[in-house]
Chain A
Amino acid sequence: MAKNQDIIKSIDLISDLRYQITNQIEGKSLLACIQCGVCSSGCTVSQYIDLQPHRVVACLLLGLKDKVLNSNAIWYCSLCHRCTERCPKSVDFSFILALVRNMAVKEGYIPPEYEVSINAVLQHGFTVPYSGDMKKTIDRNRAKFGLPEIIPPKLDELIFIVKETGLEKTLEDAKKKKKEVKI
């Protein structure tokens, strides 16, 4: 017998959750899953995660949004792409997981390390800081090997792209919601 707290009421299911994935680029393959579990059996990080890949797909299809967003499975993926490679129904699970992480970010779940990366890209054009003293050191190291000067991107172009694609607003909203990432 299931305990009371394990029972999920149909009213709590997000019935269009699957479409929030399938209406995005490469998301349609989600619907092809037959729950065979090949993805989970070959998963590099299966022993570290609390929701196996085929269960993540099942939750997405059922509309169990919180269950997925509160799982560490979405953050511990090593991006080895074996799930996608081996799926007999061509479900692109490793990419769908990126779409799920996008969904989590919109809900306010952002690993601090990801914020560091996007801020570095917006401030320097690269994930590695490249300005001020850092730039001097890097340029000196490059000169030792006779390497050509780096012509970095125009930062206002990158800032424009981040704004126009909606990420700037997503990050501002996420700051207000600020939820702790389960890692």
Chain B
Amino acid sequence: MPHITLTEGAPGILGPMLFRPETAKPLNELAESLLRGPNSLSQGERELIATYVSSQNDCFFCQTIHGAVAAHHLQGNETLVAETKRAPENASISAKLKALLAIAAKVQGGGKHVKPDDIERARQQGATDLEIHDTVLIAAAFCMYNRYVDGLATWAPHDPNVYRQQGARLATEGYIGSTERQRADSAAQTV
């Protein structure tokens, strides 16, 4: 049971987003900019960073939905998503992404955990200032989204197919408007 009264059947963050559209708007705009805006990091790479941090924070909803978005961008490769969550250093990903995930892991522990050596390693693998910035902010932002979702004890579906379907939709249609799509779905269900 969520800690506050939320629309029944709205999964994860969509419950509090429907509850408080004033904050849903900047929260969705931030996710859109970080995960889908023009960037030298691919959408698959950025979703993997989001998924990895969410798994470090043990947030079931966020790691599952963003893992599904990542898999959609990676031609359905759910194994790569699972490998990245389990042990990024051994996953079949670029050395640059490994270095960025190491920075993200430090950010998850605390901003001060990031050390010059972590940045140097990423630079040696070709990471730019913007890529380092975005990695830190994606990791920091998911330390927010994860706490928001679990701190209000929101409901999460368990059927993997629900996440595959919603993940594909987020990957193609984006985060802006996702709350409105859920509002329409919830209204349709209650009719």
Please determine whether chains A and B interact with each other in the same assembly.
no
Which A residues are closer than 8 A to B by beta carbons?
Answer: none
Which B residues are closer than 8 A to A by beta carbons?
Answer: none
